[in-house]
Amino acid sequence: MRLFLLTLLLATTALAQKPALDHDAYDVWNRLYEHDISPDGQWTFVVAGPEDQDRMLHVVSADGETRYAIPRGYNARFAPDQPALVFKIKAPKDSTLAAQRAGKSGDALPSDSLGILSLTTGEVTKRAGVKAFALPEEAGGVLAYHLAKAEPDTASTDSADAAPMPKIKPKKGAPKKATGTPLVLHSLADGAESRFDDVVSFALSPNGTWLAFAAASADSTADGAFVIRTAGSTLEPLLAGAGDYTHLAFDQQEEQVAFLSNTESFTADAPHFILYHVLLAERPAMALATPETPGVPAGWGPSEHGEVAFSESGERVMFGTAPLPEPKVDDERADSEKANVEVWTWKDPLLMTMQNKRLETERKRTYLAVAMPADGRVVQLADSTVPDVTIPMKGDAEMALGTSNRPYQMEISWDWPGYRDAYAVNVETGQRRLLLEKIQSGIQASPTGAYAAWWDGEAGAWMAVSLVDGDPIDLTADIDVRFDNEEHDWPYRPNPYGSAGWTEDDRFVVYDRFDLWALDPEGASPMLLTEGLGREEGLQFRFVDLDRDEPVLPDDLLLYTFDDATKSAGYYEADSDEVETPERLVFGPYRFGRVKKAKNADQLVYTRESFEEFPNLWTGSDEFEDTERLTDLNPQQADYNWGTVELVEWTSTHGDDLQGMLVKPENFDPAKEYPLMVYYYEKSSDNLHRHWTPEAHRSIINFSFYASRGYLIFIPDIPYRIGYPGESALHAVLSGTMHVVGLGNVDRDRIGMQGHSWGGYQAAYLATRTNLFRAIEAGAPVSNMFSAYGGIRYRTGMSRMFQYERTQSRIGGTMWEMPLRYIENSPIFWADKIETPLLIMHNDEDGAVPFTQGVELFVALRRLEKPSWLINYTGEPHWPTTFPNKRDWAIRMQEFFDHYLMDAPAPSWMTEGVPALKKDEAERARASY
């Protein structure tokens, strides 16, 4: 009987054991990519799927009773006034792969389709070969979609009625040009369609009353800008003739259209654009701004690279100008006859590498101007000396705000934050007044255009100034709290905690560490909107913007709230007009996010997550009442051994009170010892309740994956002393790791460490200072601060000097001022001290940390005969980006740590390497893992 009971007990225990995660999990684990809520709050959609598999569009009613699922749906949008959801349908992944294997590419690959879901019936209407679609902003009951090819319509119904396109006789000598493709106007109410050929771009008016489009054909017979009422009246030309037509824009009142065209100079050697304007009740279009129009700078004109938009009132048209294009110069020389040279000078405002990175942007740079349709005036607001200008009141303010960093571009290479000047610009005259010089922060104009506010780092204060007249005033002089980061540990003046924005009556709302303050540029007393509850309770309140199109703060402020001590979070509500204790709406040991509000209803959707709970979508009222979970995207998680997380606190050897996270397997046995993985990147403990979906991560270990497989994971916070970044990491990481060892359950001889980028640097540094770790992975590590200091961040073309003097590397000075700090903090100078096997991942197209940094460390270790490996995903940037590369990296990193920390056999790439001659063969063999 005892033997039977023991056998039964063992069998029951075996059945109860959940399997560990493996790399096949990536093929079944869903991720949430898109979501939104319908304007009436009755429907929500979610796009989800595994990273490297076809995705699914899920549509759910607010009560959860009705659900639709559309394979491969994405880029979805609810119609503003119809029970319909419009979306793209991605071609099946296996079809695309089959075409690629057959050598096809570009337009020869399977194309996307359009889907229209009736939320009433669940019926899906599909259209093949659609490259883009648009819905009106407010109403209209229509949809416009643009076909990818000029072929017969492939609609599943025959409801399309062809609308006649006026044919325009081409001008003699017109240059060869691209052709348009069909555009279809679809009624969401009855499915009726009208089709227009040769369309290159289009726009729907805000309420869907009008459709405007630009057309073009190879022979220019179709060229023009056209408009039609969506209710079905006759198509009418706004302007026609051989040329390019672009940037069609309606005003909010649906009474005007503006656009650009070069039809007047189309056959010239250097055609230029003209801004046209039309009152829809008084066609045709008339030129509003040309190179000859008073107000347009000499030699300049409207540019096709600038946007065209009406101000909210419709009284102004905002557009971009630029120097007129130069005629192209023919050069018949062969490339072998040309010198290919760059000239760098010490007076260049920007390094040549930055100039090259920004070359296309500079070629297309435009400068803001406004035109007044009522009297035909044009006012140039921006130019090469003040290139950035914004107009408050959605384009209707009297005063605009201009900024320029042009005098300080050289300092970008070594100083941080960047400097800029600020100007008040009169929109009616273009006159400027210098407001501020050499500020090191952004500056925000109030929605009325009366004031601007900015952070003065030297004074440690929020400042404001009238855009009309007056001197700067200190908004926080009478407040006895700090508004800059109290924990700042970078070698430049602390940043502010930030701002929520402006109220309708021009009060500026800012944050201290915990609370919200309303500051009045007119001099009224500051208002502590959250009544000090944040500082009293250790709660951080931050405004959640539910309507990004609205420039002023609402009366009722939704505040994301975070407990700095426990890492719990939730939402509170406060008033932007008066001091009152914020009202708690929802709060708990979770992390919340992706909150969206229905446009016309008091209904929200949002995600809620924890280490153990996937961030599914929830819905409820705007008071977080009657909440309900709408999705369960990864129910299979319950079938796997997962993990738990807890907050760890200790005092470092520098005397700092620190926090960190300790992750344990779900089946954690307090009587066992486990291998420990240590990972870090600055401070991470605020992510205590983050969920870690199993994924082939581009650069770091996946916490849930490693916990599932029997590891403990420790993630300590690191505070820094300026000038000693490596030593700071050493004191925080070692003290924290030993604290965790002291808690028990850690196999002292099986501790690994992993970090990437800044974490990779610290991992390499710690390898030179301690033998505590049995194996270390350092991803994209800076190993030599001398050579790195003089290097380039190739993704941006920037010098790396600023990083060491002012930002993350935290040295605090130049290498000729502080050479010993650069030596002390560089692992390369201490490589002979490394006794721990080191795995390095560094890619040869890294645009952040030069590839040579990883190479320097590896060749040093190779010379010293230290166990080391360098993994390079050729052609990849700071980390692998393709799924096959990420998956390969996840497997290799696990193999490395499993070998040293779990006694797994070493894979052949570790013991034998992969010679170049056998690289392809080895890749094919590993692809089946």
Burial class (CB in 10 A: 0-12, 13-18, 19+), 451: buried
pLDDT per residue over 513-541, tens digit each? 999 999 999 988 999 999 999 999 999 99
Tell me the pLDDT band of 508, cut-offs 50, 70 and 90: very high
- Judge whether residue 928 has pLDDT over 70: no
The band of 9, judged by pLDDT with boundaries at 50, 70 and 90, is: very low
Rounded distance between C-alpha atoms, residue 737 and residue 739, angstroms? 5
State mean pLDDT over 671-677. 97
* pLDDT score for 154: 45
* Contacts (Cβ under 8 Å, ≥6 apart) of 144: 133, 134, 183, 184, 185, 186, 202, 204, 211
DSSP 575: E
pLDDT tens-digit map of 426-472: 999 999 999 999 999 999 999 999 999 999 999 999 999 999 998 99
* Residue-level pLDDT at 3: 37
Task: Give the residue-averaged pLDDT of 187-203.
Answer: 96
DSSP three-state, residue 489: coil
Taking only the tens place, the pLDDT of each residue in 225-277 is: 999 999 977 899 999 999 999 999 999 999 999 999 999 999 999 999 999 99
Q: Which residues of 860-882 are buried (b: 16+ CB within 10 A; e: fewer)?
A: bbeeeebebbbbbbeebbbbbee
Angle at CA 643, nearest 5°, toward 639 and 647?
A: 155
* Per-residue model confidence (pLDDT) at position 466: 96
Alpha-carbon gap, residue 580 to 923, rounded angstroms: 63
- Coil vs helix vs strand at 302: strand
CA–CA separation, 237 and 648 (whole Å) = 70
The better pLDDT of the pair 248, 4 is held by 248
Determine the average pLDDT of the residues in 44-51: 97
Q: Kind of pairing, strands 443-445 and 451-456?
A: antiparallel
Helix (H) or strand (E) segment spanning residue 9:
helix 2-16
Q: Answer yes or no: is pLDDT of 171 > 80.
A: no
Average pLDDT over residues 686-702: 97
Residue 158 pLDDT > 60: no
Q: Give me the pLDDT at residue 470, please.
A: 83
Predicted TM-score of the model (pTM): 0.92
What pLDDT, on the 0 to 100 scale, is given for residue 284? 87
What angle in degrees, to the nearest 10, is found between the helix axes of 725-742 and 758-767? 70
- Read off φ and ψ for residue 574, nearest 5 degrees: -140, 170
Give me the percent of the chain exceeding a pLDDT of 90: 89
How far is Cα 606 from Cα 629, in angstroms, rounded to an integer?
Answer: 10
pLDDT at 712 over 80: yes
Q: Are 791 and 802 in contact (CB under 8 A)?
A: no
What tens digit of pLDDT does each residue of 74-85 get?
999 999 999 999
Tell me if residue 249 falls in helix, strand or coil.
Answer: strand
Q: What is the pLDDT of residue 176?
A: 61
Band (pLDDT 50/70/90 cuts) for residue 861 is: very high
Residues 833-857 have pLDDT tens digits of 999 999 999 999 999 999 999 999 9
- Residue 295 is which amino acid? G
Tokens standing for residue 826: 């560089």
Give Cβ neighbours of residue 910 (< 8 Å, ≥ 6 apart). 869, 895, 896, 899
As a whole number, mean pLDDT of residues 316-329 equals: 95
Half-sphere exposure of 313 (CA within 13 A, CB side): 11
Tens digit of pLDDT for each residue in 795-815? 999 999 999 999 999 999 999
Q: Give pLDDT, residue 340.
A: 92
Could you give the 3-state DSSP secondary structure of residue 511? Answer: strand
Place of tokens 């101007």: 369
For residue 159, is pLDDT > 50?
no
Which tokens hold the place of 642? 């997962």
Examine the pLDDT at 157 and tell me if it is beyond 50. Answer: no
Q: Is 80 exceeded by the pLDDT of residue 141? A: yes
State the pairing for strand pair 775-779/838-841. parallel
CA dihedral sign of residues 611, 617, 622, 628? negative
Which H or E run includes 832?
none
Q: Phi and psi at residue 730, in whole multiples of 5°?
A: -60, -50
DSSP class per residue in 212-247: EEEE--TTSTT-EEEEEETTS---EEEEESSS-EEE
What is the band of 177 on the pLDDT scale with cuts at 50, 70, 90? confident
Euclidean distance between CA atoms 200 and 261, whole angstroms? 13
CA 591 – CA 425 distance, rounded (Å): 43
pLDDT digits (tens, 9 = 90+) for 54-68: 999 999 999 889 999
Q: What is the mean pLDDT of residues 417-424?
A: 96
How far is Cα 321 from Cα 690, in angstroms, rounded to an integer?
A: 47
Q: What is the mean pLDDT of residues 208-224?
A: 95
d(CA 476, CA 460): 9
pLDDT attached to residue 544: 97
Question: What is the structure's pLDDT at 563?
Answer: 97
Q: Is 262 in contact with 244 (CB distance < 8 Å)?
A: yes
Report which of residues 829 and 158 the model is more confident about.
829
pLDDT at 175: 53
Instruction: Identify the pLDDT of residue 578.
Output: 84
247: left (phi over 0), alpha (psi -120 to 50) or beta: left
